[in-house]
Every structure is written in C-alpha cells, then in structure tokens.
C-alpha cells in the first residue's frame, strides 16, 4: 500500500495511490477553509464500505454510481487554522482493505467583525442558548440516505437578492458588550421587497417547525445526505413536520421573532452537522 501526498496549493487534488483498489479520489477544495463545504469523492475497483473523518468529524459516504462514492463535510467557521487530520478507510465486512491518515492544511476564512449588537439578555443566556443549540445539533445530525436535490439551491425569497442581504455568513459577533467569540451562522435577508414570502431552497422533507427563543419561528428541511436548510425569525410558518416540499414552494413569511433587531430571514445551510456558507450552495451545484 502506498500513501499519497496532497498538493494543497491546488483547489482540487487527485488521490490515485491510496491503494490498488482505489482508482481515483479527490478532495475539493484544497486547502480546507473555515466555513466551506468539502466534497470527497472516491472511485474503487470493487464495492466496499468507506468511512473516515475530517478534522475530527465522522464522514458519511454515499454511492453516486457503481463503485463511486461521495461524502460532504462542512468546516466550522471558527475551526483552528493549521493542520486538520483526515482519515479514510475502506473495508468489506470485518476486513480492512486500506487505511489512510494524513493532515490537511486548513486556512482562516478572514471574516469581518460586525458592529457590536445589543439584544435581549435572555437570548444570550447559556442556560437558554445551550439547550437550543443542542436541539439544533440533534435535529441536523442524521444523514438521510435519500438525496432529494439534483440542482443548484435557489434563493429563499423574492426581490433584489443582493440588495436584501443585511449580514453575511461567518461575520464575527459581539453581544451586549461581550467579546467577539461568536459568528453569524447564516445569511440575513431583509424584508426589502413588498412580498414577505419565504420559499424552500431545494426539495426535501420538513423535520421541524416551531418557536425557539433565539431563532424564533423556525423551519428545518432535510435534503438528504446530511444537508439541511433552516429558516429563522418567521412571522408565519406554512408547512408542518413530515411535509415533502418542492424547490420554490412557499413555506412561511419573513418576521421578527426570536433574537432580532428587526424583521428579516436568517437562512442557514448545514453540511454533516456544521453550518457553512450558504452563498456557496446558491452559486455551485453540490456534490
């Protein structure tokens, strides 16, 4: 077995010498970066089970075609820059076919600092935010084997989209005079059009609707393969848990519920348990 050396200066690196049983593999993009969606593809000479981890997070591989597998993984926006461990294993039953361990370069995202925000103290109380964050992590953890989407995710509202962005993903946040130890986990779209409708960004299944202290009226849609979209602060929710929704389907109305300074839609995309930059999914087809 011959291990490989990644050319981490490239945006896409081929991995052709992991094992004689692996015909091709790629990690895109490289180097890794805070807030990015990472696509790992592996092609093999025979069927096998693939597993592994990236920066300590378990990877979930799904079959795209015969002997062709893909895993999607988000990189945490405040992950430490430096070296991130990557593990890739192939097996059949109890037999390990190959085992690769290597460090990958992870760079900073160079996100800006937003002006300090003043909010209701209850909405930054760890006794409130902790359980709510845990609830979100639990609901976005399952990697459903059915992939519901097949094309570019669409913007979740009407109007001149770029002009409607109030805050970007990854911006560092300070609340009520505290330190900049938080980040903005999605995109904020203002109600800058007379139409307040919110639409599903891609096909999927509704797995949560309800009122949360920080996130307000919330809808979560499972798109399969560990991908979820979340829609916060709504004034009205138009779907229910278990609904199968189509891309562009009306799911709610922009509002000002939860931790807000005014009416807007906070839109998130989770990739295998990590919030990533939604702009990437609105401008690139994954995987």
pLDDT tens digits, one per residue of 80-95: 999 999 999 999 999 9
Rounded to whole angstroms, the maximal C-alpha distance in the chain is: 62
pTM beyond 0.75: the answer is yes
Report d(CA 286, CA 26) in Å as an integer.
14
Query: Do the strands 32-33 and 95-107 form a parallel or antiparallel pair, or are they unpaired?
Result: parallel
pLDDT recorded at residue 53: 98
pLDDT recorded at residue 141: 96
CA distances from residue 253 to 16, 160, 256, 269 in whole angstroms, order as listed: 49, 17, 10, 18
Q: Rounded to an integer, what is the distance from CA 117 to the centroid of its chain? A: 25
Report d(CA 184, CA 172) in Å as an integer.
6
| 3-class state of residue 138 by DSSP | helix
In sequence order, what are the residues at sequence separation of 6 or more whose Cβ sits closer than 8 angstroms to the Cβ of residue 61?
Answer: 40, 42, 49, 50, 51, 52, 69, 70, 71
Residues in the chain: 287
Question: Which residues in the chain land under pLDDT 70?
Answer: 1-17, 160-162, 193
Bridge partners of residue 253, in order along the sequence:
197, 236
pLDDT recorded at residue 190: 87
Nearest to 232 by CA among 275, 276, 267, 197: 267
In sequence order, what are the residues at sequence separation of 6 or more whose Cβ sits closer than 8 angstroms to the Cβ of residue 185?
Answer: 77, 169, 268, 275
Structure letter (DSSP) for residue 204: E
Contact 39, 58 (CB under 8 A): no
Query: Is residue 105 reached through a cis peptide bond, with omega within 30 degrees of 0 on the bond before it?
Result: no
Structure letter (DSSP) for residue 9: T
Structure tokens at 42: 């592996």
Contact 206, 241 (CB under 8 A): yes
Contact 229, 223 (CB under 8 A): yes
Cα three-residue angle 168-171-175, rounded to 5 degrees: 120
Query: Is residue 30 reached through a cis peptide bond, with omega within 30 degrees of 0 on the bond before it?
Result: no
């Amino acid at each position: 077995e011959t291990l490989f050396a990644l050319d981490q200066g490239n945006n896409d690196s081929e991995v052709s010498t992991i094992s004689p049983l692996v015909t091709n593999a790629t990690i895109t993009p490289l180097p890794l970066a805070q807030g990015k969606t990472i696509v790992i593809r592996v092609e093999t000479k025979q069927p096998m089970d693939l597993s592994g981890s990236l920066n300590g997070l378990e990877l979930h591989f799904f079959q795209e075609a015969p002997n062709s597998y893909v895993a999607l993984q988000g990189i945490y926006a405040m992950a430490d820059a430096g070296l991130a461990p990557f593990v890739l294993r192939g097996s059949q039953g109890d037999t390990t076919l190959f085992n690769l361990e290597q460090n990958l370069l992870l760079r900073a995202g160079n996100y800006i600092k937003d002006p300090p925000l003043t909010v209701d103290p209850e909405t930054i109380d760890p006794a409130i935010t902790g359980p709510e964050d845990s609830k979100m992590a639990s609901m976005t953890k399952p990697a459903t084997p059915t992939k519901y989407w097949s094309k570019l995710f669409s913007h979740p509202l009407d109007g001149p989209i770029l002009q409607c962005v109030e805050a970007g993903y990854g911006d560092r946040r300070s609340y009520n005079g505290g330190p900049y130890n938080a980040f903005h986990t999605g995109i904020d779209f203002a109600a800058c059009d007379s139409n307040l409708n919110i639409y599903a960004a891609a096909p999927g299944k509704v797995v949560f609707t309800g009122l949360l202290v920080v996130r307000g009226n919330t809808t979560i849609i499972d798109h399969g393969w560990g991908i979820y979209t979340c829609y916060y602060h709504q004034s009205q929710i138009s779907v229910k848990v278990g609904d199968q929704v189509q891309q562009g389907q009306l799911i709610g109305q922009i509002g000002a519920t939860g931790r807000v300074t005014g009416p807007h839609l906070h839109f998130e995309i989770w990739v295998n348990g990590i919030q990533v930059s939604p702009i990437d999914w609105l401008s690139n087809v994954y995987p």
